[in-house]
C-alpha cells in the first residue's frame, strides 16, 4: 500500500509518484484545506474530484490532512478543480509573479512620469500582495518603489524605512550584490538628502569595493553606484574622487544595457565637467541626458536635467538662460509635488535672481522655502538658503542702508544666517561649501572690527581646503577592469 492508498470504502487506488508534496505550502495554508475550499467554491462533490483515478474516501482523507499526497495525485486533483498544479501546491494564482512584475512596471512608469502619489498607492497594493504570497523579490521591488515615491514627496524617514526593508528582503533571498545595487544606491541617496554625506559615500564606496574586488563587474550596477557618488563627493569638496567616478562612469556607459542609467550618468557627469571648467562639455552631456529622458518620458529626471543645465548656465554667467532652465525645472517638479527637490531648485533659482538684481524676490523665495528644509531634510540646501540670505543682507549694507541702526541690524542678520549655515554644513560634512562660507563669515567679522574672530574663522576655512580633492573617508574603492 502506497501513501496514496486508503483502506476506506471505494477500493484500491493507483500508486502515486515516489516524491511526496509537503502538507503545508509556503504561504502557510494546508494543502488539504485548499482542496476543500476550491472544491466547495466550485460546487463539486468528492466523487467528482476523485474519479476516475481515485476514490471519494481518498479525497476526504486528503482534505482532512490525514494523507500526504504525491505529485501525481495533486496533478489529478488540480485538473479536476480547474487550476494549475502550481496554484494548488503554492496557493498562488497562475503567473502571479509575472503579473506582479508587469504592475510594478506600471507603477514605475507612473512614478517617473509625474504621479508619485498614485504610484505609491499601487506600490502599496503590490507590496501587500507579494508579501501575502511569499514573493520576496517582488516585495523588495515594491518597497524600493515606495521609497522612491517618498523621496519624490520629501518624506525622508519613510524613504529610509522602505529602502532598508527592500535591501533586507534581497539579502534574505540571497540576491547577489549587482541585484541589490539599486537598493544600496537608494539608501545612499536618502542619506545624502538627509545631510549625511559621509555615510552616503561609505555605503556607495563599500558596495563598489565589493563589486570590483570580488569580480562582480556588472556594468549597470557599477554605473548606478558611480553616478550616485558624484553629488556627495562634490558637496564634500572631494573633486578628485568626483572626477574619477565620472571618468569611470563614462567608460562603463557603452557596456550598460539600461538607457535610463546612461541618461542618469550624463546628468551626474555634467557636474564634474563643470567643476573642471568644461562648461560646453557639461552642457552637451546634459543635452544627451535630456534627449534620453524626453524619449523615455521620465519627467523627474528630465526636470533634474533642466536643473543642472540651469546650474551650468549660472556658473558660466548666462543668468537669463539659467533662470529659464531653473524655472522650468521648478515648475516640472512642483507639478509632480516633489517637495524636497522643488525647494532645492528654488535655492539655485534664488541665487540667480539675486545676481540679476532681484534681491527682494530672491529673499522672499528663500524665506518661504526654509520651512520645507531642516538639518534632517535637505541640510546642504538649507545651508545654501541661509548663506544667500546672509549675502543679501550684507549687500543691503554695501548699497547703503538708510541709517546706522539699519546697517547694524543687516550685519547682525547676515552673521546669524552665516552661523546657521556653518552649523548645517559642519553636520553634513560639505567641505567645499564650508570653506567658502568661512571666507564670507571671516570677511564680515573683519569689516565689523572683530579681527581675532575673523582669523579663527579663516583658519577653520583653510582647514577644510587643506587637501583639495580628498576626503577623510579612507582609500578610494577599487576600480573595475574597464
Return d(Cα 180, Cα 172) in angstroms, integer.
Answer: 11
83 secondary structure, DSSP code: S
Return d(Cα 250, Cα 227) in angstroms, integer.
Answer: 9
Residue 390 CB burial class (10 angstroms; 0-12, 13-18, ≥19): buried
377 pairs with which residues across the strands? 374
What is the per-residue pLDDT across 388-426, written as a single tens digit (0 to 9) for each? 999 998 888 766 555 677 788 888 999 999 999 888 888
Is residue 226 within 8 Å of residue 249, measured between CB atoms? yes
Q: Supply the pLDDT for residue 290.
A: 67
- Taking each helix axis from N to C end, the angle separating 116-132 and 96-112, rounded to the nearest 10 degrees, works out to 160
Q: 130 or 9: whose pLDDT is higher?
A: 130
Q: How far apart are the first and last CA of the chain?
A: 64
Q: Supply the pLDDT for residue 308.
A: 78
Element (H, E) at 429: none
Helices and strands (H and E) in the chain: how many: 23, 0
> Strand, coil or helix: what is 471?
coil
Q: 337 or 266: whose pLDDT is higher?
A: 266
| Non-local CB neighbours of 473 within 8 Å, separated by 6+ positions | 198, 201, 202, 205, 238
What is the per-residue pLDDT across 422-477, written as a single tens digit (0 to 9) for each? 888 887 777 667 888 888 899 999 988 899 999 998 888 877 654 443 334 556 66
Asked, as a colleague might, if the bond just before 429 is cis with ω within 30 of 0, I would say no
What is the per-residue pLDDT across 315-333, written as a single tens digit (0 to 9) for each? 888 999 999 999 998 888 8
pTM for the structure as a whole: 0.65
Residue 253 pLDDT grade (very low, low, confident, very high; cuts 50, 70, 90) = confident
Dihedrals phi, psi of 475, to nearest 5 degrees: -60, 145
Amino acid at each position: 500500500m502506497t501513501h496514496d492508498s486508503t483502506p476506506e470504502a471505494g477500493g484500491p487506488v493507483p500508486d502515486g509518484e515516489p516524491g511526496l508534496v509537503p502538507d503545508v505550502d509556503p504561504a502557510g495554508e494546508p494543502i488539504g484545506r485548499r482542496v476543500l475550499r476550491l472544491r466547495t467554491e466550485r460546487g463539486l462533490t468528492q466523487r467528482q474530484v476523485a474519479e476516475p483515478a481515485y476514490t471519494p474516501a481518498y479525497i476526504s482523507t486528503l482534505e482532512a490532512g490525514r494523507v500526504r499526497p504525491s505529485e501525481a495525485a495533486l496533478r489529478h486533483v488540480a485538473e479536476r478543480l480547474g487550476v494549475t498544479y502550481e496554484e494548488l501546491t503554492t496557493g498562488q494564482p497562475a503567473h502571479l509573479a509575472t503579473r506582479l512584475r508587469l504592475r510594478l512596471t506600471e507603477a514605475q512608469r507612473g512614478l517617473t512620469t509625474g504621479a508619485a502619489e498614485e504610484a505609491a498607492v499601487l506600490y502599496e497594493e503590490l507590496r501587500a500582495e507579494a508579501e501575502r504570497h511569499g514573493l520576496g523579490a517582488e516585495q523588495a521591488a515594491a518597497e524600493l518603489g515606495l521609497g522612491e515615491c517618498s523621496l519624490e514627496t520629501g518624506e525622508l524617514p519613510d524613504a529610509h524605512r522602505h529602502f532598508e526593508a527592500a535591501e533586507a528582503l534581497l539579502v534574505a533571498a540571497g540576491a547577489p550584490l549587482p541585484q541589490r545595487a539599486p537598493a544600496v544606491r537608494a539608501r545612499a541617496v536618502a542619506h545624502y538628502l538627509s545631510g549625511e554625506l559621509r555615510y552616503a559615500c561609505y555605503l556607495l564606496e563599500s558596495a563598489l569595493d565589493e563589486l570590483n574586488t570580488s569580480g562582480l563587474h556588472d556594468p549597470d550596477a557599477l554605473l548606478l553606484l558611480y553616478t550616485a557618488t558624484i553629488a556627495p563627493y562634490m558637496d564634500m569638496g572631494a573633486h578628485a574622487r568626483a572626477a574619477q567616478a565620472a571618468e569611470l562612469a563614462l567608460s562603463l556607459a557603452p557596456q550598460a544595457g539600461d538607457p535610463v542609467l546612461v541618461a542618469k550618468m550624463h546628468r551626474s557627469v555634467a557636474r564634474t565637467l563643470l567643476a573642471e571648467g568644461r562648461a560646453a562639455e557639461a552642457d552637451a552631456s546634459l543635452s544627451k541626458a535630456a534627449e534620453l529622458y524626453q524619449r523615455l518620458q521620465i519627467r523627474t529626471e528630465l526636470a533634474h536635467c533642466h536643473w543642472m543645465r540651469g546650474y551650468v548656465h549660472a556658473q558660466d554667467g548666462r543668468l537669463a538662460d539659467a533662470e529659464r532652465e531653473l524655472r522650468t525645472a521648478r515648475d516640472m517638479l512642483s507639478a509632480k509635488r516633489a517637495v524636497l527637490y522643488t525647494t532645492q531648485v528654488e535655492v539655485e533659482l534664488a541665487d540667480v535672481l539675486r545676481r540679476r538684481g532681484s534681491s527682494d524676490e530672491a529673499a522672499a523665495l528663500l524665506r518661504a522655502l526654509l520651512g520645507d528644509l531642516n538639518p534632517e531634510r535637505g541640510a546642504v540646501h538649507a545651508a545654501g538658503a541661509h548663506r544667500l540670505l546672509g549675502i543679501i543682507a550684507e549687500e543691503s549694507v554695501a548699497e547703503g542702508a538708510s541709517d546706522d541702526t539699519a546697517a547694524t541690524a543687516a550685519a547682525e542678520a547676515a552673521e546669524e544666517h552665516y552661523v546657521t549655515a556653518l552649523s548645517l554644513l559642519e553636520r553634513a560634512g560639505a567641505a567645499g561649501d564650508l570653506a567658502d562660507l568661512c571666507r564670507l563669515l571671516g570677511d564680515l567679522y573683519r569689516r565689523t572690527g572683530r579681527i581675532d574672530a575673523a582669523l579663527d574663522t579663516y583658519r577653520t576655512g583653510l582647514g577644510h581646503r587643506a587637501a583639495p580633492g580628498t576626503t577623510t573617508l579612507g582609500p578610494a574603492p577599487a576600480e573595475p577592469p574597464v
